[in-house]
Amino acid sequence: MEEMPKEDLQKMQYKLLKSLVYRLYSFSPFYHERMKEEKVHPDDIRALADVKKLPFMFKRDLRDNYPDKIFTATQDDLVRYHVSSGTTGKPTVVGYTQNDLNLWTTSLARGLTSIGLGRGDVIQVSYGYGLFTGGLGMHYGAERIGATVLPTSVGNTERQIELMQDLGATAIACTPSYLLHIGEVAAKMGVDIKKDTKLRAGILGAEPWTDGMRTRIQDWLGIKAYDIYGTSELSGPMYTECTEQKGFHIWSDIALAEIIDPKTGEQLEPGEKGELTVTMLQKEALPMIRFRIGDITVIDDEQCPCGRTHPRIQRIQGRVDDMLIIRGINVFPSQVEYALMAIPEVGQHFQIIVERKGALDDMLVQVELNRESFSDKITDLMQTQQKVEHRMRNSLNVNVDVELVEPGSLPRFEGKSKKVIDKRSL
Ligand SMILES: [Zn+2]
């Protein structure tokens, strides 16, 4: 399946799409109405490219139909619920049939295999277990490939480090910010992850991070750091990078990915940057058609050197709703991270604070310094500050105030980190 010729994959996608659309049009009042509004009938889907005739779905469709009004399976057929807490208003609920769980697990099993994990590995799952999809999703994927799961979940970091050593964890799955936290706590305990543990891979996701951060994590902890992607509406974490570390393979038999212009909704070509939109081709309980995830990225349709023919999605560069507009210029927090990680004096943590003073937006970036670079000499600090401000201005095209802060002084997060404080919306 993973190395099937592209043309055959696309033929398979077309067949799956066609039967999905017929099923939803016939049996789901929600999708039936949506398609009627858009004046599209299942007979209009005559080629894979016709997917662009279908209406979009948004996260609000799940919220508006809380908890399960658009499910296409009855509760008898559901074997699990996951619930994601909305930042505003109602949470969203996702239901899974046994087949839905099997596909999710298969997808992750392929991903974990593609980074060289399998029987004999001990995978420490430090994503939250429970209503959040990260922990349980990774858990079943890791068991499927014959690895031994160490289900530590989030928190109690010192114990996590002891267990990592005692049970010989070879891989860890968590958010990149939590792995940084683990590295710092380990150092305080006198444990060098590089020398004192068997850890060789990190499967890091649930928040956007950059290649600069990857290099730092790899050099510091002596592991390979892989990106993983997914969102609860589509099942949970589902797609990982392969050993090439150049974007995650999105399995064509499971999902049809498109990149669209977030403003016009027009489909963009491979290589063009836009909003990731996904159709889940085989889901039973909550199929999603052209779901607008809100993540900004690029599809890479070139053949991957690993031999897998399924397209790759480049690392997420930001979210449509994360995009800050500072004095008319689009700024993504990932750009700030990218610029900062190229400066050796800078540590791993930063925070962006946006304020409106009068009619103008002001952006302040608080940056932790490395312990080695933190100096009492004002002149040294001023030099570093100028260097950081200069780098920011060059890469963001907007003036940014920089405040250098002591190592360890910015807030740490065990789950998703909060890098932006936008006081304009308060
Ligand atoms: Zn590959």
Q: What radius of gyration, in Å, describes the C-alpha atoms of the chain?
A: 22
Q: Are 261 and 238 in contact (CB under 8 A)?
A: no
Reply yes or no on whether the pLDDT at 220 is more than 90: yes
Which contiguous run of DSSP H or E holds residue 130?
A: none
Token pair in block for residue 167? 């049970």
| 87 — pLDDT class (breaks 50, 70, 90) | low
> Residues 31, 289: contact at Cβ < 8 Å?
yes
CA of 243 to the centre of ligand 1 (A): 7
Percentage helix, strand, coil for the chain under 3-state DSSP, each rounded to 5: 35, 25, 40
Question: If you count them, how many residues does the chain have?
Answer: 426
* pLDDT surpasses 70 at 196: yes
Highest mean pLDDT among 74-88, 219-233, 372-386: 219-233
DSSP string, 243-280: TT-SSEE--TTTEEEEEE-TTT--B--TT--EEEEEEE
Average pLDDT over every residue of 6-21: 97
Report how far ligand 1's centroid is from the alpha carbon of 249 (Å): 6
> Taking ligand 1, which is a single-atom ion, which protein residues have CB atoms under 5 Å away?
242, 244, 304, 306, 308
Task: Please enumerate in sequence order all residues whose Cβ is within 8 A of that of 376, keeping only pairs 6 or more positions apart, or say none.
Answer: none
pLDDT of residue 308: 98
Q: How far is 151 from 145, CA to CA, in rounded Å? A: 16
Q: What is the pLDDT of residues 281-295, one digit of tens each?
A: 999 999 999 999 989
Distance from the alpha carbon of residue 82 to the mean position of ligand 1, in angstroms: 30
pLDDT of residue 86: 60
Q: Give me 227's structure tokens.
A: 């990106």
CA neighbor of 101 nearest in space, from 262, 235, 242, 255: 235
How many A from CA of 116 to the centre of ligand 1?
A: 12
Mean pLDDT of 43-53: 97
Model confidence at 323: pLDDT above 80: no
* Ligand 1 center from residue 308 Cα (angstroms): 5
**What pLDDT is recorded for position 89?**
59
Model pLDDT, residue 263? 84
Ligand 1 centroid from CA 236, angstroms: 21
pLDDT at res. 317: 83
Determine the distance separating the centroid of ligand 1 and the alpha carbon of 96, expressed in angstroms: 28
What pTM did the predictor assign? 0.85
For the record, the structure tokens of 128 come out as 């939250």
Of 106-120, 171-185, 386-400, least confident by mean pLDDT is 386-400
Q: What does 199-247 look like in DSSP terms, one character per residue? A: --EEEE-SS---HHHHHHHHHHH-SEEEEEEEEGGGTEEEEEB-TT-SS
Closest residue by Cα to residue 296 from 275, 311, 324: 275
Cα(9) to centroid(ligand 1), Å: 16
Residue 282's pLDDT is what?
A: 97
Can you tell me the mean pLDDT for 176-205?
96
Per cent of the chain over pLDDT 90 is 76
Lowest mean pLDDT, pick from 185-194, 259-268, 321-330, 405-414: 321-330
426 pLDDT more than 70: no
Q: What pLDDT does 418 receive? A: 79
Helix, strand or coil for residue 57? strand
Chain mean pLDDT for the chain: 93
Task: State residue 337 phi and psi, 5-degree precision.
Answer: -60, -45
* 333, containing H or E segment: helix 333-341
pLDDT exceeds cutoff 90 at 326: no
Give pLDDT, residue 223. Answer: 98
Structural contact between residues 269 and 55, judged by C-beta atoms closer than 8 angstroms = no
Residue 88 confidence (pLDDT) above 60: no
Q: 242 or 320: which carries more pLDDT confidence?
A: 242
Sole residue written with tokens 């430090």 = 126
- pLDDT bracket for residue 77 (50, 70, 90): very high
Count of CB atoms situated within 10 Å of the CB of 188: 11
Query: Ligand 1 centroid to 56 CA: how many Å?
Result: 29
| CA neighbor of 330 nearest in space, from 407, 262, 398 | 398
